[in-house]
C-alpha cells in the first residue's frame, strides 16, 4: 500500500511466497497516513491524517487518495470489486461499487499515457440524522430595534439533567484526565450547562441601519469544554446575501447552488488568526461583521426578514428559534412620533393666540 495502511496485518500463515503481504484480513480497516510520512510510502493526494477541508475553503486539501495492490489470480477479467464499503465515520453510508471507464495516467512529462485495467466508483453521502440523534448547534437572535434577545430554543440539543446530556456549571473546569476518550470514536461533548445544551451557539445580531446599507454581527461560541474546532465553517441562507458588500474578520464565498439564485454563503476563519474555534472560555468564540446593500423592492426589517432562514455549522444544521419569537419592529413607532410632534407645536399655537 501507498498513502495509507491497514490497522491489522491479520493471519498470513497460508501465504506462499517471499515478502509477506501488507494485510491478509478479509475486511481490512484502512487509515490515512499522517503528514510527513516517508516519501517511499506516499502517493498523490495522500497523507492528510484523515482530516479534509471543504472544496470552498482549501482546494488543495479537500481530496485524499491512496494506492493498494490486491493479490490474486492473474485473470483480471473475473476480478470482483470488494463490497460493503464504509468510511468508518458516523453519519456516512456508501453505495455499491459502479464500474466506470478506466482511469488514465500521464507519465514521462506527459508524453506517455497509461490506464488502469478496471476502475470503479463508490459514492458515500452524509446524513446528520444518522450521525447523531440530536442536533449539535443552535441559533440565537437580536436586533438594535428591539431590546429582546431571542435565545436558542429550550432543549435544542439535549435537556439538562436527562441522559445522555453531560454538562458542567459555568466557571468549573473538568479534569481532562478523567474524560474517557477512544481515538477511533468521536468524543462525547461536555458543555456548559444551559437551557439549550448545545456545544456550539451561533448568534445573529442586526447591528445597525444606514441609508443604503445595513450591518450584521455574527458570533460563534464554543460551549464544549473538551473540544476545539479546527478549520470550521458556517453556511448561512439569507435572501440579501446576494448583496454582501464587505465581510470583516472571516473569509466569505457565495455558494451558487442553483446558478441564478445567490442566497447562500459560506464563512470560515482566516488562517493563523481565527481558523481555530477554541474550547469554552474567554477565547472560545469567533466573530465577524458584514455590510450588506439594501436592495430596493425586497429589503425590510419587518416580520423577521433581517434574520437568516437556515444556519449550518460544519455541515450540521442548527436549531433556529420559532418565527413567532423573532425580534420585531416596535408597533407604536409611528404613533410615538406623531405624539411628539403634537407636544412640540401646541405651545407655539398658544403663544400666537395670546399675542
Tens-of-pLDDT digits for all 355 residues of the chain? 999 999 999 999 888 877 889 999 988 999 999 999 999 999 988 998 888 888 888 888 888 889 888 776 566 667 778 788 888 888 899 999 999 999 898 888 889 999 988 888 999 998 888 888 889 999 999 999 999 999 999 999 989 877 666 788 876 766 654 555 565 566 678 888 999 999 999 999 999 999 999 999 999 999 998 889 988 999 999 999 999 999 999 999 998 867 778 899 999 999 999 999 998 888 899 999 999 999 888 899 998 999 999 999 999 999 999 999 999 888 754 433 333 333 433 343 333 334 4
Fold topology of 133-172+189-325: Immunoglobulin-like (2.60.40)
Tell me how many degrees the CA angle 185-28-53 measures, rounded to the nearest 5.
Answer: 50
Residues 6+ apart with CB under 8 A from 78: none
Paired sense of beta strands 4-6 and 30-32, if any:
antiparallel
* Burial 244-282, CB ≥16 within 10 A → b, else e: beebeebbbeeeeeeeeebbbbbbbbeeeebbbbbbbee
Question: What backbone phi and psi angles, to 5 degrees, belong to 41?
Answer: -105, 0
Residue keyed to cell 433556529: 320
CA distance 327 to 311: 17
CA–CA dist 132, 13 (Å, integer): 41
**End-to-end Cα spacing for the chain:** 103
The Cα 92–Cα 88 span in angstroms is: 8
pTM of the model: 0.80
Amino acid at each position: 500500500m501507498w498513502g495509507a495502511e491497514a490497522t491489522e496485518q491479520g493471519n498470513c500463515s497460508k501465504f506462499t511466497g517471499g515478502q509477506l503481504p501488507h494485510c491478509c484480513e478479509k475486511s481490512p480497516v484502512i487509515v490515512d497516513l499522517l503528514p510527513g510520512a516517508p516519501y517511499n510510502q506516499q502517493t498523490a493526494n495522500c497523507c492528510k491524517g484523515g482530516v479534509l477541508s471543504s472544496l470552498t475553503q482549501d482546494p488543495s486539501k479537500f481530496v485524499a487518495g491512496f494506492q493498494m495492490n490486491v493479490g490474486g489470480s492473474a485473470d483480471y477479467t473475473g476480478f470482483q470489486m470488494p463490497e460493503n464499503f464504509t468510511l468508518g465515520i458516523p453519519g456516512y453510508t456508501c453505495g455499491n461499487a459502479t464500474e466506470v471507464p478506466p482511469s488514465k495516467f500521464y507519465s514521462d512529462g506527459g508524453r506517455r499515457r497509461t490506464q488502469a485495467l478496471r476502475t470503479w466508483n463508490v459514492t458515500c453521502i452524509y446524513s446528520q440524522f444518522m450521525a447523531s440523534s440530536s442536533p449539535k448547534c443552535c441559533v440565537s437572535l437580536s436586533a438594535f430595534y428591539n431590546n429582546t434577545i431571542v435565545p436558542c430554543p429550550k432543549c435544542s440539543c439535549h435537556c439538562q439533567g436527562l441522559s445522555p446530556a453531560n454538562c458542567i456549571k459555568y466557571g468549573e473546569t473538568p479534569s481532562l484526565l478523567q474524560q474517557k476518550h477512544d481515538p477511533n470514536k468521536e468524543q462525547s461533548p461536555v458543555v456548559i450547562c444551559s437551557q439549550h445544551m448545545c456545544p456550539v451557539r451561533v448568534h445573529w445580531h442586526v447591528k445597525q441601519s444606514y441609508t443604503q446599507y445595513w450591518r450584521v454581527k455574527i458570533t460563534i461560541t464554543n460551549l464544549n469544554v473538551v473540544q476545539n474546532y479546527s478549520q470550521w465553517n458556517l453556511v448561512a441562507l439569507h435572501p440579501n446575501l446576494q448583496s454582501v458588500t464587505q465581510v470583516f474578520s472571516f473569509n466569505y464565498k457565495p455558494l451558487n447552488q442553483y446558478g441564478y439564485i445567490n442566497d447562500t454563503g459560506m464563512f470560515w476563519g482566516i488562517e493563523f488568526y481565527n481558523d481555530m474555534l477554541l474550547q469554552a472560555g474567554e477565547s472560545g468564540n469567533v466573530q465577524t461583521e458584514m455590510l450588506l446593500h439594501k436592495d430596493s423592492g425586497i429589503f425590510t426589517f419587518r416580520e423577521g426578514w433581517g434574520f437568516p432562514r437556515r444556519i449550518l455549522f460544519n455541515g450540521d444544521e442548527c436549531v433556529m428559534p420559532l418565527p413567532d419569537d423573532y425580534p420585531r419592529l416596535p408597533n407604536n413607532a409611528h404613533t410615538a412620533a406623531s405624539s411628539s410632534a403634537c407636544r412640540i407645536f401646541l405651545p407655539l399655537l398658544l403663544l400666537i393666540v395670546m399675542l
